[in-house]
């Protein structure tokens, strides 16, 4: 399973010719990130209807039926704040499974999980989770959640990165400081292949930015016989 970070909380998850895009951001409301446009996918998932997570206009869907998907997607409703949704309501965690690999996008989770949710998410192969903010779990609580669920790979998202990301978000280092330095791996790419036997790690993916895919070019046309005229005006034999 290939996971590509497109910025903020947006990822493209692909396997066997099928691609899921989750939580596309609106750059008008998410500081420092370029506009998302022409991101191609077969399926779109939204954790909640916030401008940083629901920019459907930036995604071009193939129109293929979801029955063709190799993925199994299970949404789980969680609170977006620490007071049972009174401030920000709820959002969705998405458990995504394929070929024995289990990953979860945690949305803007803002409160501890229930026992049943913990059991469903225990031992994930990868977890995409906020590095910490005032609108979701703070970094220390994110670390405690990873200690409870023991995912093999933690992919921080939704954080302040130089001039990118809202000011109310924490930097990724506010989360990684709770882990042994040997666990933290900084990638020079925006994607990582998730397998069941990869080394446990905190995978900090590099923001590169999505480049819109060009439409398929029309096949080159062979010159017609009439166009193949020799300089002397004669046609080739």
Q: Report yes or no on 54 lying in a domain.
A: yes
Q: Report yes or no on 150 lying in a domain.
A: yes
Q: Report yes or no on 227 lying in a domain.
A: no
Which of 90, 86, 88 is closest to 113 using CA atoms?
90
Reported as type and span, the H/E element at residue 174 is helix 173-176
Q: Residue 165 has what pLDDT? A: 85
Q: Report yes or no on 232 lying in a domain.
A: no
**Residue 6 has which token pair?**
């497109």
- Number of domains within the chain: 1
Q: Residue 225 has what pLDDT? A: 39
Consecutive 10-residue averages of pLDDT for the chain (237 residues) = 96 97 94 93 95 94 97 92 66 96 95 93 97 85 96 96 85 96 97 96 93 46 40 47
Q: Residue 143 has what pLDDT? A: 96
Per-residue DSSP letter, 86: T
Q: What range defines the domain where residue 184 resides?
A: 2-211
Cα(57)–Cα(44) distance, integer angstroms: 11
Q: Report yes or no on 151 lying in a domain.
A: yes
Q: Residue 83 has what pLDDT? A: 61
Query: What Rg, from alpha-carbon coordinates, does the chain have?
Result: 22
Residues across the chain: 237
- The CATH number that applies at residue 85 is 3.60.15.10
Q: Report yes or no on 236 lying in a domain.
A: no
């Amino acid at each position: 399973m290939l996971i590509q970070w497109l910025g903020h909380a947006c990822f493209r998850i692909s396997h066997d010719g099928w691609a899921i895009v989750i939580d596309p951001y609106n750059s008008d409301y998410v500081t420092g990130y370029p506009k998302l446009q022409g991101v191609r996918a077969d399926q779109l998932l939204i954790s909640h209807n916030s401008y940083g997570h629901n920019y459907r206009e930036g995604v071009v869907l193939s129109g293929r039926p979801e029955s063709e998907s190799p993925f199994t997607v299970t949404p789980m409703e969680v609170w977006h704040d620490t007071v049972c949704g009174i401030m920000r309501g709820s959002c969705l965690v998405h458990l995504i499974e394929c070929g024995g690999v289990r990953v979860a996008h945690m949305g803007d989770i803002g409160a501890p999980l229930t026992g049943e949710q913990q059991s469903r998410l225990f031992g994930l192969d990868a977890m995409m989770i906020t590095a910490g903010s005032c609108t979701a779990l703070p970094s220390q609580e994110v670390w405690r959640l990873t200690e409870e669920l023991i995912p093999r790979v933690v992919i921080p998202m939704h954080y302040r990165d130089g001039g990118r990301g809202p000011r109310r978000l924490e930097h990724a280092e506010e989360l990684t400081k709770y882990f042994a330095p040997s666990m933290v791996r900084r990638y020079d790419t925006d994607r990582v292949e998730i397998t069941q036997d990869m080394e446990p790690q905190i995978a900090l993916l590099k923001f590169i930015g999505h480049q819109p895919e060009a439409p398929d070019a029309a096949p080159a046309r062979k010159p017609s016989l009439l166009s193949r005229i020799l300089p002397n005006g004669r046609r080739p034999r």
